[in-house]
Structure 1
């Protein structure tokens, strides 16, 4: 019985064929977003790019927006994890952690800009995308709030407290990177500007 349980656990730890197919669909959708744009994307084109039938795609996703929501969710999770990673890699230096958090976010905009732009543009009108994106925004704000407190910003709920400043700065960071992503080669400059703004709110 113990051997059977161990084998069962090993099987569950490995990605199932369904999981792999879902990942393949999301990878194909991201390539299509990057190369062809949102306007040319349909359920049919996603299925074709993933090498499956339209009917097979509907087994995993109910609609094009469902695919986009999952894609945004995957990317948004990576953004939040990158910020959290920056927090743990420089535990004694909140300023350095904030610099790295902005750098990690800029890297995500460089590597997954098409998905990030869809998240910003469609979140106000597609509830599934809004939920995925806002979960990442909240997780990022929580992580950076802790860094602000560690750097000496008051941890209270005042307009100049860490929670309010973190929420405002995360929102500003999202919009500034979104605007920069539309201009070739502008993300590095945006990251430098945003890093300066984040550090400027810290007590000296």
Structure 2
């Protein structure tokens, strides 16, 4: 019997990925609230029982899809914290990566954010992701000369405000158009530069 090569995805892995892909496709045409587990199973070519083998509910599938979607954003945020480039360039890189993620997965991110209050796992994932980005923003602000202290104008407090401003701005722009996303990225970059006392 041929053995599966180490690292190669199993049939189960591939089926799980297919389910998540199908969920993403369905969300483009149907709201999450209107979507059923049967809809996902049928589109994926599975029985309802087979679907439950992988995910016990559509909520659990959404959590898995969102986790997969934000992983690259988390990695890019960690990289931004360690970016040795000048603050201006580090900010431009971070905003470009954030924009690209929203361009590619804006729908999934909006749906997940909308469901965060009803699905605690999504809320926790998004908060953890935001904290990683806040760490990066803080590091860049400190390198730009912003004082690091506990007051409302300290680097971390300002970084939190910048992070959630970026999230809301991209959330709304991604529902409008790719051009709106590009403009949102430029605006958020300008705000971040001004917070860092760097002329745009």
Q: How does 1:117-136 map to 2 (within 5 A)?
A: 117-136=110-129
Q: Deviations over 1:63-119 (max 9, x none)?
A: 11111111111112222223334455x513122111111121111111111111112
Q: Is 1:76 the equivalent of 2:70? A: yes
Aligned to 2:15: 21
Distance 1:142 1:17 in 2: 38
Q: TM-score, normalised by structure 2?
A: 0.88
Q: TM-score, normalised by structure 1?
A: 0.86
Structure 2, unaligned runs of 5 or more: none
Aligned to 1:97: 90
Aligned to 2:142: 149
Conserved? CA contact 2:133–2:163, under 8 Å: yes
Distance 2:111 2:120 in 1: 13
Conserved? CA contact 1:149–1:162, under 8 Å: yes
Count residues with an aligned counterpart.
Answer: 195
Distance 1:108 1:62 in 2: 28
Conserved? CA contact 2:107–2:175, under 8 Å: no
Report the Cα offset of residue 16 of structure 1: 2.8
Q: Compared with structure 1, are the counterparts of its residues 87 and 53 closer, same or farther at alpha carbon in structure 2 (3 Å cutoff)? A: same
Q: Compared with structure 1, are the counterparts of its residues 143 and 16 closer, same or farther at alpha carbon in structure 2 (3 Å cutoff)? A: farther
Structure 1, unaligned runs of 5 or more: 1-6
Conserved? CA contact 2:37–2:58, under 8 Å: yes
Report the Cα offset of residue 178 of structure 1: 1.0
- For the aligned residue pairs, the C-alpha RMSD in angstroms reads 2.0
Aligned to 2:32: 38
